Amino acid sequence: MLTCIIPCYNEEESLPFFYDEISNILETEGYSYELIFVDDGSTDHTLKILKKLAKMDTRVSFLSFSRNFGKESAMYAGLCHAHGDYIAVMDADMQDPPSLLPEMLNIVQTGGYDCVATRRVTREGEPVIRSWFARRFYKIINKISDVNIVDGARDFRLMKRSMVEAVVAIGEYNRFSKGIFGWVGFQTYWISYDNTERVAGMTKWNFWKLFKYAIDGILNFSQVPLNISSWFGMAMTFFSFVILIFIILRKCLFGDPVNGWASLVCIIIFIGGIQLFCMGIMGQYIAKTYMETKKRPHYIISESNIIDTKNIK
């Protein structure tokens, strides 16, 4: 059986298109399947539509969160509740074309792969600045972390149950799925496709949300920023030691004229800045550790038509 997990946040406009398209494709192919829609605290009529679909079609399940927990939590909840032997995660806005599913299933069933993942080869329709930052992000994170994170990788992927179990077993609170999928390993086949515009509604990501997500990704999968701050510290200590000797020698040889005030202030400000910057980096890691130790649930389900719902996880 195939399980499709669809995180939805205010998707009332795209859902009918999505449901028609995916049911059409999967029915024509004759698969047995279930669709798990995760309503991530939508404020529009998404839940109403999902309830209607579930009444009409027994293959439709829904989980509705008590508030917006974010796409990462929504994907995690879906993975925790999936029953299928093959499990796909996809967006509700048709930017992850359901028409690729038969090909993806075929690859995992016959090609000896555990997972088929997708990446966009073009970033058309996206602001230039955003694309530029996205490219830099992938370059940096691949340099400073051990896991390989593919440029343009989407969350759209189809996995075997064994891989999903590994992903679910990683119960960390700060989730960055692109990294987790890479971290668990398994044989992955990559499909490339051109970017498509969403069918209806608006994207939920603005530049700052994406920027914060990128920083989260780096903090979750690399300790290099911490190393950089200790290297900075060491270099600075060495540098100030050299300066100290220079100043002592100058005092002994030429006395102590009161000048050089400006350069002194510059140096103090410079070092103060670097210290704050490094403390900030450490603070980010401590904050992440703090959230992990609280062991707060990833999501809270307020309503669902799945009987054995683990409401809080």
The Cα-based distances of 19 to 52, 60, 93 in angstroms read 12, 10, 10
Residue 93, interface with ligand UDP (CB under 6 A)?
A: yes
Torsion of CA 13, 16, 22, 26, to 10 degrees: 170
Candidate segments 7-15, 107-115, 162-170, 255-263, binder of ligand UDP by CB under 6 A: 7-15
Number of residues binding to ligand UDP, judged by CB under 6 A: 17
Q: Which residue is nearest to Mg ion (CB)?
A: 95
Q: State the CB neighbour count (10 A cutoff) for residue 120.
A: 18
Structure tokens that stand for 84 in this block: 């299928």
**Minimum distance between the CB of residue 25 and Mg ion, rounded to whole angstroms?**
19
Of the candidate spans 5-13, 250-258, 272-280, 291-299, the one that interacts with ligand UDP by CB under 6 A turns out to be 5-13
Pick out residues in 9-28 that bind ligand UDP (CB under 6 A). Answer: 9, 11
The correct pick among 95, 142, 305, 309 for binding ligand UDP (CB under 6 A) is 95
96-125 residues in contact with ligand UDP (CB under 6 A) are: none
Find out whether 38 and 78 touch, Cβ atoms under 8 Å: yes
- Give the burial string for 187-225 (b: 16+ CB within 10 Å, else e): ebbebebeeeebbbbeeeeeeeeeeebbebbbbbbbeeb
- Figure out which of the listed residues 203, 223, 227, 289 binds ligand UDP, where binding follows CB under 6 A: 203
**Of the candidates 2, 4, 5, 7, which one interacts with ligand UDP according to CB under 6 A?**
7
CB of 188 to ligand UDP, least distance (A): 21
**Contact in structure between 167 and 184 (CB atoms under 8 Å):** yes
Q: How far is the CB of 130 from ligand UDP (least distance, A)?
A: 10
Residue 11 binds: one of ligand UDP, Mg ion, none (C-beta under 5 to 8 A by kind): ligand UDP
Give the sheet arrangement for strand 188-193, strand by strand. 188-193, 115-120, 153-160, 86-89, 2-8, 33-39, 60-65, 301-304
Which does residue 12 bind out of Mg ion, ligand UDP, none, counting CB within 5 to 8 angstroms by kind?
Answer: none
φ and ψ at residue 141, rounded to 5 degrees: -65, -35
Smallest gap from residue 57 Cβ to ligand UDP (A): 19
| Of the residues 34, 61, 70, 116, which one makes contact with ligand UDP according to CB under 6 A | 70
CB closer to ligand UDP, 23 vs 95: 95
Say how many residues make up the chain: 313
Smaller CB distance to ligand UDP: residue 71 or 175? 71
Residue ranges binding ligand UDP (CB under 6 A): 7-9, 11, 40, 68, 70-71, 74, 91-93, 95, 198, 203-205
